Structure 1
Amino acid sequence: MNSPTLAPNSNSTLTTTLPLELREQALFWLAEPDARLKAQGVTAMRAAYLDRQLALNTEADLSCAYQIPGRPARPELVAPLDVKRRAMNTPEGRASLIHALAHIEFNAINLALDAVWRFPNMPEAYYQDWLQVAQEEAYHFGLLADHLVTMGYQYGDFSAHNSLWELAEKTQGDVLARMALVPRTMEARGLDATPALQAKLAQAKDQAAAEILDIILRDEIGHVAIGNRWFGFLCEQRQLDPITCFAELALQFRAPVLRAPFNVEARLAAGFTPAELSAMKIA
């Protein structure tokens, strides 16, 4: 079922009509290649859902006719080790860091949208949670992309890597694996990395960027908590021990090895238990 309403920007390369069902529309925006338009569309989608303009079919096993995720022609995607490192004491170096963070947030929009459309038969609250995450990631992307403009650059001006989405592809067959390894591993790593990045930006006297990271850290604690919540729900539903299950999935899917430093306070705030952190050799 489609709405005759135009997409927010007629430059979209996709159809100009929007599905009136939430998960179908999440797939629509996942496939949108324009980063700014994707962020705007996700924000409008959540507002429409909260205003009860979109239905939610939790049972539909949706097929995908699009190439996903939609992404712009730039940035050029390279292997993680091939991403150029630039000195933070130069304007270009600081811009490359902001660009890397913006790319993470762009990927995070896609990850949240994928969690909404891909997995059927979850409670309604699951879809509401990941819709919220998608909208907040879109907000973060906008903040970083706008700040990049003030520095004389655009999103796409530096190379980037795709490891975050690659783990999403590996876990597309099971919502349990997705909840275990994307929010609780990759996104939780952001909780660990943010304080050091904030210190570097503050030292470089980029207070605006440091304040953006304050917002992102606050929201990302909530996003990791959502991953923890649904991982716990699925473990209970399948009668699995969360600690054992996580270790087995990390091994099976070759999740990145966790390395210090760790933001234990933020991880606890995001719902990791002391026993889980001990098993991960974090605390």
Structure 2
Amino acid sequence: MSERSAGEPSASEPPAREGPVRELLASEGSACDVPASEAPPVGTVERWAWDYVLTTDLEYKQRPPALPGTWEESPPPRRLTRPGRPAALQITARAPKSPGPEALRTPARRAQLIHTFLHHELQAAELMCWALLAFPDTPRAFRRGLLHIAGDELRHMTMYADYLATLGYGFGDFPVRDWFWQRVPSATTPAAFTATLGMGLEGGNLDHAARFAERFRAIGDEVGAALQAKVCAEEIPHVHFAVHWFQRFTQVGSDAGSGVGGADEALDDFTTWSRHLPYPLTPLVMRGAPLNRADRARAGFSEAFIDALAAWSPPAPGS
């Protein structure tokens, strides 16, 4: 994941790690107020996802333990409302303004921007785990895919942290906003989730990452440009995954846990997608300028969808 221009108004099982979650649930206001009795069984994939979302340990957030090989049998839906946040992270209500092209010549401004990207990756990894817990009735192939993407986001976090270090900064040196967490959990179905995070925010990142790769290249930062280009390329399969599953979830008579009805059959792809965005989200915050048409097409968006996204504008007041 990366900057959104308008998007922020193992076969062997590891030893069980209960400490971060037990500590979290005993604290007040540090994260989601979830009864400990609702936690998945220790040693399951679901518990791994639960622990990752709720831990307040920064090292754990960046380098969690290996995934267990056991899935919980018949898990109930668990909808966490907010993540655990390490004390080192300064959470703010408003995101800092994205620096312009010339401002990126200053190492501190580049560091601030990359720090924002890193926090986006963290939220994306957490929200993949959130969806695994929230939608247990979806096919396991979908939930395995969420875990795979979470692993990619963790790797991107490391890439960004390594780049930050070359500029003399670390994770926590700038304020961050949990904007994705303020919006994505309002998705009540897996179709809405894939529409919002995968097709929407990650789709928009194909535009933003390509734009910032050019900006870094323009100021002579080839390392930063290559980093953005790599993240962009690795986001394409993430978006393709979302497009594929969104289509599955919105098929008439789908048994994939869509929570949607047959009305979608008569709608075009763009309209179907936009109607699954939780209020107040609109297509406006799901695109960058310019649109990265080539990579969006590689990710599975049709030409008609891309054209509709490019042409979309908010309805006139009172209409």
Residues of 2 paired with 1:121 and 1:255: CA distance? 27
Superposition pairs of residues 14-33 of structure 1, within 5 angstroms:
14-15=21-22, 19-33=42-56
2:87 corresponds to 1:77: no
Whole-Å Cα distance in 2 between the matches of residues 4 and 215 of structure 1?
31
Q: Equivalent of 1:248, from 275, 293, 310?
A: 275
CA distance in structure 2 between the aligned counterparts of 1:235 and 1:132, rounded to whole angstroms? 23
Cα-to-partner distance string for 1:74-130 (whole Å, 9 max, x where unaligned): 432334454474821111111111111111111111111112111121111101110
Distance 1:4 1:102, change over 3 A: closer
Q: Give the count of matched residue pairs.
A: 268
- Secondary structure class of the residue paired with 1:105: helix
Identify the residue that residue 225 of structure 1 maps to in structure 2.
240
The Cα of 1:212 is off from its aligned counterpart by 2.1
Q: Contact conserved, 1:105 with 1:137, CA < 8 A, in 2?
A: yes
SS at match of 1:281: helix
**Secondary structure at 1:250's aligned position in 2?**
coil
Q: Which of 2, 12, 15 is the matching residue for 1:5?
A: 15
Query: Residues 127, 56 of structure 1: CA spacing in aligned structure 2 closer, same or farther, 3 A cutoff?
Result: farther
Do residues 203 (structure 1) and 218 (structure 2) align? Answer: yes
Instruction: For 1:114 and 1:168, locate their aligned partners in 2 and report how far apart those are by CA, in whole Å.
Output: 10
Output one character per residue of 1:122-149: Cα deviation in whole Å (capped at 9) or x when no partner: 1111011100000000000011112212
Which residue is equivalent to 2:310? 281
2:276 aligns to what SS in structure 1? helix
Structure 1 distance, partners of 2:178, 2:200, is: 15
Shift of 1:268: 0.7
CA distance in 2, matches of 1:74, 1:38: 12
Q: Within 2, Cα distance between the matches of 1:121 and 1:80? A: 35
Match of 1:136 among 125, 148, 152: 152
RMSD value, Cα: 2.7
Please give the secondary structure, in 1, of the residue aligned with 2:273: helix
**TM value normalised by structure 2:** 0.75
Q: Does the aligned pair in 2 maintain the 1:96–1:158 contact within 8 Å?
A: yes
Q: 1:88 to 1:122 in 2, by over 3 A?
A: same
Deviations 1:179-224 (A, max 9, x none): 1111111111110011221122223333222222232112111111
- Which residue, 123, 139, 147 being the options, matches 1:107? 123
Long gaps (5+) in structure 2: 1-12, 24-39, 255-260, 313-319
Partner of residue 181, structure 2: 165
TM-aligned CA distance change 1:252 to 1:67, over 3 Å: closer
Q: In the aligned structure 1, how far is the partner of 2:211 from the partner of 2:293?
A: 14
Equivalent residue, structure 1, for 2:193? 178
Give the distance between the partners of 1:160 and 1:192, measured in 2 at CA.
Answer: 21
**In the alignment, is the contact (CA less than 8 A) between 2:98 and 2:113 conserved in 1?**
no
**Counterpart Cα distance in 1 of 2:121 and 2:95:** 20
* Greater Cα shift, 133-142 or 70-79: 70-79
Determine the C-alpha separation between the residues in 1 that align with 2:116 and 2:16. Answer: 32
Q: Please state how far the C-alpha of 1:56 moved relative to its aligned partner.
A: 4.8
CA distance 1:268–1:150, shift in 2 (3 Å): same
Unaligned residue ranges in structure 1 (runs of 5+): none
More helix by share: 1
